[in-house]
Structure 1
Amino acid sequence: MRELIRIHEADDPRIAEFRSIRERDLTGRDSRFIAEGTVVLRMLIGAHCAGGDFAAEKLLLLENRVEGLAALLQELPGEVPVYVASQPVLDAIAGFHLHRGVLALGHRRRNPAPAQLIESLPAKALVVAAFGISNHDNVGAIFRNAAAFGADAVLLDETCCDPLYRKALRVSVGAVLAVPYFRAGSTAEILTTLAGAGFSIWGLSPAGAVEIREVPAADRMVLITGTEGEGLSPEVLARVNTARIAQAPGLDSLNAATATGIALYGMAMAQGRL
């Protein structure tokens, strides 16, 4: 049976990384992050056990969640400590009422360079690239869309927010831990690398030249999405093919994540992935 370590005080140094997580997220600190909820924990443990890019360092659970997680905890390597606490202690640690009662501290074991990740993609590949996405919900939803439609990677420029932020991870339902990605470099650098790797590059715009259902299939395709407000810049649109999503009269834009999901579905269908 799995050994559980009881935490009685919120200031116990063994769980210091979980303290006040709403104000003190671990994103950006040596590639460490906080995973919250059963679904994200399952993805983290799966990546850990498969030798993937992510690993679990420790878990902190509400005492009455342990029984329901017993099977999942058996998959976790024995060297990863599992701490348990009562609801009052857990809430004092987190700094708010943590009704899910499931937290994990993880870290990214490998962080491939942009050129390295693009070079590793298969001959027939579908990629999502996002530039300037600052909303954590949108970043998480873009990863969820990418996983749902079988994308091979997500490419984020250096101005995008970190997908390992706790809320982005939660919105992605753990897809951030499953879909290969990088967050680095400028928009121009990423586009140049993709073009050099033979990708057909399509940028979303309300004024796109082609309706998304008419985008021709290619072995290597990339869909690019711009900022929530202004979208892709004129300079970017001038470098790529452009596509639009047909909408009712009087509207000309969609939420960045919603538009990405619709367009990605169309491109996945064109490639015969679905």
Structure 2
Amino acid sequence: MQTIPIDDPADPRVAAYLNIRERDLTGREGRFIAEGKVVLNVLFSARRFVPESVLVLENRLAGLAETLSSAPDDLPVYVASAEVIDAIAGFHMHRGILAIGQRRHAESIESILQALPSRALVMVLVGIANHDNVGSMFRNAAAFGCDAVLLDETSCDPLYRKSIRVSVGAALKVPFALGGTGLEIATALEATGFTQLALSPAGEKDITEITRPDRLALYFGAEGPGLPHTILDRIDTARIRMAPGFDSLNVSAASAITLHHFMG
């Protein structure tokens, strides 16, 4: 670990951290921004990602000693005052802890599925473009033992800064693949022996009526439009029982209830 003081917000060594509210590194050569102590701990332990550098508020450095002790020896740790770090980030950084991470390689749907055990639980997100929902759903996935998350090409990247933060680092823990259409994902899951369930308010059965198979994939669509008919017409559907006169939940809440029911 190399501690490097930064006195100038325009220092080229911290250029990747500039104005992070207005832009995001996701999609730029596999790099992303991690924020906060908990996420930093996850980044240092995640095998699928490599920490590139850390930027920390000077009065937070001592409290990060244990966390940073697990960092690579050659990792640059940039240290700045509150005034400088706020100027770099473009807003007040009350947490005062940022890091740049890098994906070792993007994983495909096929590579994810090949690595799964014979008993596995997978969550499929179709059209989930809200960063908060994606982050919350990854947190649910980690909490309830989901083995992998597959996101179609219209869903947002889980490595957006806000998604990682909302997931409390779970987006760096749970294996995922992003890309392809919902139908392509369904075809790949079918070929690897997965029973597939699409969650919908108009589902054929309540989730409590369904026995968990060894390999199960659960589909969730965007709030409002829900899952497309191309998915609903292809695979079995399920619903969450609710009080009379109400038929929908936030997609993150729906995923938490469903994953909890089918976990284990």
TM-score between both structures, scaled by the size of structure 1 = 0.95
Partner of residue 113, structure 2? 118
Alignment of 1:39-188 (within 5 A): 39-47=38-46, 52-188=47-183
- Cα shift at 1:214: 1.4
The answer as to whether partners of 2:2 and 2:75 remain within 8 angstroms in 1 is no
- Cα distance in structure 2, aligned partners of 1:80 and 1:236: 45
The answer as to whether partners of 1:215 and 1:267 remain within 8 angstroms in 2 is no
Partner of residue 200, structure 1? 195
Spell out, residue by residue over 1:110-138, the C-alpha distance to the aligned partner (whole angstroms, 9 max, x if none).
21211121122110000000000010000
What amino acid sits opposite 2:30 in the alignment? S
- Cα distance in structure 1, aligned partners of 2:23 and 2:132: 18
- Cα distance in structure 2, aligned partners of 1:116 and 1:45: 23
Q: Percent identity?
A: 54
- Cα distance in structure 2, aligned partners of 1:229 and 1:109: 35
What amino acid sits opposite 1:129 in the alignment? V
Structure 1 unpaired stretches of 5+: none
Alignment of 1:14-25 (within 5 A): 14-25=13-24
SS of 2:74's equivalent in the other structure is coil
The answer as to whether partners of 2:132 and 2:162 remain within 8 angstroms in 1 is yes
Spell out, residue by residue over 1:143-163, the C-alpha distance to the aligned partner (whole angstroms, 9 max, x if none).
000000011100000110111
The answer as to whether partners of 1:204 and 1:224 remain within 8 angstroms in 2 is yes
Structure 2 unpaired stretches of 5+: none
Spell out, residue by residue over 1:40-86, the C-alpha distance to the aligned partner (whole angstroms, 9 max, x if none).
11100111xxxx11110000000000111101111101111000000
Runs (4+) off by over 4 Å: none
What amino acid sits opposite 2:20 in the alignment? I
Equivalent residue in structure 2 for 1:239, among 224, 234, 242: 234
The answer as to whether partners of 2:183 and 2:230 remain within 8 angstroms in 1 is no
- Cα distance in structure 2, aligned partners of 1:38 and 1:115: 33
- Cα shift at 1:228: 1.7
- Cα distance in structure 1, aligned partners of 2:83 and 2:201: 50
The answer as to whether partners of 1:91 and 1:98 remain within 8 angstroms in 2 is yes
The answer as to whether partners of 1:35 and 1:170 remain within 8 angstroms in 2 is yes
Partner of residue 4, structure 1? 3
